[in-house]
Chains A and B, each alone.
Chain A
Amino acid sequence: MSALTQSTPAAARTDAAPEKELRPPSYWPFVVPALVVVLTIIIFPWVFTIWMSLNEWKVGSPTTFVGFSNYLRLTTDPRFLEAVGHTMVYTVLSVVLPLILGTLAAVVFHQKFAGRGFLRGVFIMPMMATPVAIALVWTMMFHPQLGVLNYLLSLVGIPAQLWVFHPATVIPSLVLVETWQWTPLVMLIVLGGLAAIPTEPYESAQIDGASFWQVFRFITLPLIMPFLFIAGMIRMIDAVKSFDIIFAITQGGPGSASETINIYLYSVAFTYYDLGYGSAIAVVFFLLIVALAAVMLYARQRMLWTEIASGA
């Protein structure tokens, strides 16, 4: 009986889309448990966060509806605006450096050599290792007196640095950790791109006597562009949200020199327990990430159009 009722709508559609016979709604039971989980832990928190952001909501005191005043407060909060600036600097550096280094690494890993699989496993260890454990060791390495980094610098005659202990060098130092950690991800994505490139253009380039750089610039780079774009997008999303490394190494310090939006959000919500204001930051933060992703997509689209327009 149930088989009959199920087959009717499918049968009615067969003339339009014969390949979709096996698409009755009976796959829904497979999805329902996950749907319940997703509603509880992803959708509900989002709806509730938006609601909270419209309220004065502090732990231990009664809540009052305040409309958009939390959002208005953001526009004049110097610490928030400063955090936006830090986040932007941190993100741009943490996208660009891994993209460059990761592409170079992918070109090397695209060659055949003994033990490639094992070394690729070693190479991706930084991104899989527990961030807090890594942060702890980097903190020791950054130590101005006892740290191994200043010793290494002294070997090549560079004076000792204060690394994460000075406002001017803290963000570049954290970016160093982030780059070390996430270059492997870019490498993996670009490596996938390299594997998909056909060999013909390389053969004809070789016949024409093109140099290594010319081959890279005019054949490899355009062909891996879509993969670089995906890598850049993922990297941007992760860099903007970066928390573990910054929190464990500097907690946003010294002062507030490395306080990014995410770190500030943590302080507001879980140090001051100002949950309403924290929720407003969370909403704006999310919109900012979506906006950045949209800008990247738009730029990519524009690039494609100019390529087509220039007859490439």
Chain B
Amino acid sequence: MTSINVRQIVGQIGLWLSVFVIVSPAILFFLWMASLSLKFEVDNAAYPPVFIPERIAWKNYGDVLASNRFLTYFVNSLIVTGSATFLALVVGVPAGYGIARMAAHKSAVVILIARITPGLSYLIPLFLLFQWLGLLGTLVPQIIIHLVVTVPIVIWIMIGYFETTPMELEEAALIDGAGRWQVFRHVALPIARPGIAVAFILAVIFSWNNFVFGIVLAGRETRTLPVAVYNMISFDQLSWGPLAAAALIVTFPVLLLTVLAQRQIVAGLTAGAVKGG
């Protein structure tokens, strides 16, 4: 009797130890990131390193937010990610529906190609196209090229989702004389809301995080946040506090979304939708 209890307790301790070991690289990294962002230069340059500072440098965040360029870049990121996600949902959700209902699985090959292609290979021809259209210097090229990331994610997830939604209701509506568009709008779409949420969240995250498109297409006024942070690395390498603060501000919305919507994200990622581009 007692030996079983002991074994259970040892098992529990072992389990918690392994959970701790597995999760700590992630936790410690982000705690260290927060620590860097909240320290004055004296503490950031100290050896051995200071983990919890005596004086907290909130001013690092103030400095980052007060520079009006940072706000411009924040708005740029919002516009690019918002537009690219919105457009992807508008074209991608009906497409996922159509492909699922036609059982046109071969068309998914295009999505796979998009998934395999390195992001830079889109950039070369599209860069020329945008230059020729005179669009460089505006946010339009970035919005369009972010569709390379968001559209495949949305289509891929929606095909999978619509394949699992029941056909009976749709068939009944069709027999009752509803058009295909009405069936989609009033029957299929409401049921697909959880799937749309997954597609939306993943499209937002991977568009927000995208760096490679901005580094080529963004000018001084049209940078998104990841590009802005990258430029900070190269120009004021010496002040770690504000740099880490900027990095944390950029990625904080994503981290928050990850923890809050982890069920949707896990569902989407296991369906095979990982960052395009």
**Partner-B contacts on A (CB < 8 A):** 22-23, 25-31, 33-38, 41-46, 48-49, 52, 104-105, 108-109, 111, 113, 117-126, 128-134, 136-137, 139-141, 145-146, 148, 151, 180, 184-185, 188-189, 191-192, 230, 234, 237-238, 241, 243-244, 247-248, 262, 265-266, 269-270, 275, 278-279, 282-283, 285-286, 289-290, 293
Interface residues on B, range: 35 or more
* Chain B hits for A30, CB < 8 A: 94-95, 97-98, 101, 180, 184
Known A-B contacts A118-B259, A188-B270, A248-B211; the reply to A141 vs B32 at CB < 8 A is: yes
Q: Is the CB of A146 within 8 A of B45?
A: yes
Q: Which residue of A lies closest to B115 (CB)?
A: A237
* Chain B hits for A25, CB < 8 A: 102
Looking at the assembled complex, report how far the CB atom of B56 sits from the nearest CB atom of chain A, in whole angstroms.
18
Could you say which of B87, B98, B118, B274 contacts A282, with CB atoms under 8 Å apart?
B118
Q: Which residue of A lies closest to B118 (CB)?
A: A241
B82-120: CB near A (< 8 Å → 1, else 0) gives: 000001001110110111011110010010011111111
* Chain A hits for B272, CB < 8 A: 230, 234
Known A-B contacts A131-B211, A238-B274; the reply to A42 vs B22 at CB < 8 A is: no
* Chain A hits for B30, CB < 8 A: 125, 129
Where chain B touches its partner, the secondary structure class is helix
**Partner-A contacts on B (CB < 8 A):** 15-16, 18-19, 22-23, 25-27, 29-30, 32-33, 36, 44-45, 47-49, 87, 90-92, 94-95, 97-99, 101-104, 107, 110, 113-128, 144-145, 147-148, 151, 155, 167, 171, 174, 180-181, 184, 205, 208-209, 211-212, 215-216, 225-227, 229-230, 233, 240, 243-244, 247-248, 250-251, 254-255, 257-260, 262-263, 265-266, 269-270, 272, 274-275
Q: Which residue of B lies closest to A237 (CB)?
A: B116
* Chain A hits for B265, CB < 8 A: 121, 124, 128
- What CA separation (Å) do A48 and B47 show in the bound complex? 54
Q: Is the CB of A45 within 8 A of B91?
A: no
* Chain A hits for B125, CB < 8 A: 44-45, 48-49, 52, 279
- What CA separation (Å) do A133 and B255 show in the bound complex? 12
Q: Which residue of A lies closest to B21 (CB)?
A: A108
